[in-house]
Amino acid sequence: MSDTRPVISEVHGQIGHLILNRPAQLNTLTLEMIRLLQQQLSAWADDPTVRVIVLRATGQKAFCAGGDIRALYDSFHAGEHGHFDFLEEEYVLDQFIHHYPKPVIGLLDGFVLGGGMGLAQGCSHRLVTERARLGMPEVAIGYFPDVCASYFLPRLPGRLGEYLAVTGVHLAPADALYAGLADHAVRHADLPALLEQLHQYDWGADAHSELDSLLVAFIQQPEAAATLPQWQTAIDRHFAAADVPGIIVSLQSVTDQAEAVWATELIELLHSRSPIAMAVSLELIRRGRGHSLAYCAELEMHLIRQWFTKGDFIEGVRALIVDKDKQPRWNPPQLELLEAAKVAAFFTETPEAR
């Protein structure tokens, strides 16, 4: 595609398309893109000629791999306010999509990570292809799951929310469906035909139910079976621990041979993550459980306002994106050195729960 706009908006028939268009950057989001998406969605919300929205992306690798974290890093180091502007407006957009008055189809093809999940989880119809990989991997860069993750992760079965937040693992299509982070699987090869059906359809009074019926012909079972059901009981047991050290102790106590292999791999992964990010992520997911979308957004923004100076994000981006030495100097460097008071301090003067 020769169009260089970061977000392309098109209308075909009665379908409005919003296309993320930074494929070389895995369609990571910038402030300009957030504003373009917000502006066009606001216009289409009041446009009776547009009945359904399709949110998709260009490129072969990603729907959206998150926010442009290098831009946030640069803004912080320049002493600017752009990183806060981006995050504040991203939260407005994500909540707007959750409450959008018309069907929004998220075509989740390739990586759907971080900020991409923020866009996707508000969509009324979340369609994953066989190439989709979903996740909230923020702990790997010294951050916590944001974009209203404290709202949508605690609503997953059992302790999957804590598991995904603390480990940062990615989910293949069948596991995304099992967890409730996607609604249907479709084949990548069928997307052109699906879009053509949407364009040609004569939409009536109830676009939501009509879309449900139209999608039936395209829904497929993922080729690879879900793996999470095998580990659901174990996840529920280990990730119910009071804190991250407790989770690791629980994983270390496994005696079943097959589970021990899985647990050992998890322990190794956890030891590579930012201790403060994991601890705050666990507390965040538990605080969000049962609360409103608006409250969870406020709670996360409360953390964000502190995190650039008190968390590990800047160091994580330096190590993984800027210098690329992949040797982050976490503060503290080990879980054993993390004081509970440091975690609790992030949650003082939190917004009133509702």
Report d(CA 153, CA 37) in Å as an integer.
24
Report d(CA 73, CA 270) in Å as an integer.
24
Which of 16, 66, 114, 115 is labelled catalytic? 115
Which of 138, 175, 283, 312 is labelled catalytic? 138
Which of 66, 67, 135, 142 is labelled catalytic? 67
Q: Which amino acid is present at 301?
A: M
Which of 68, 90, 109, 146 is labelled catalytic? 146
Is 115 one of the catalytic residues? yes
Is 183 one of the catalytic residues? no
Active site residues: 67, 115, 138, 146
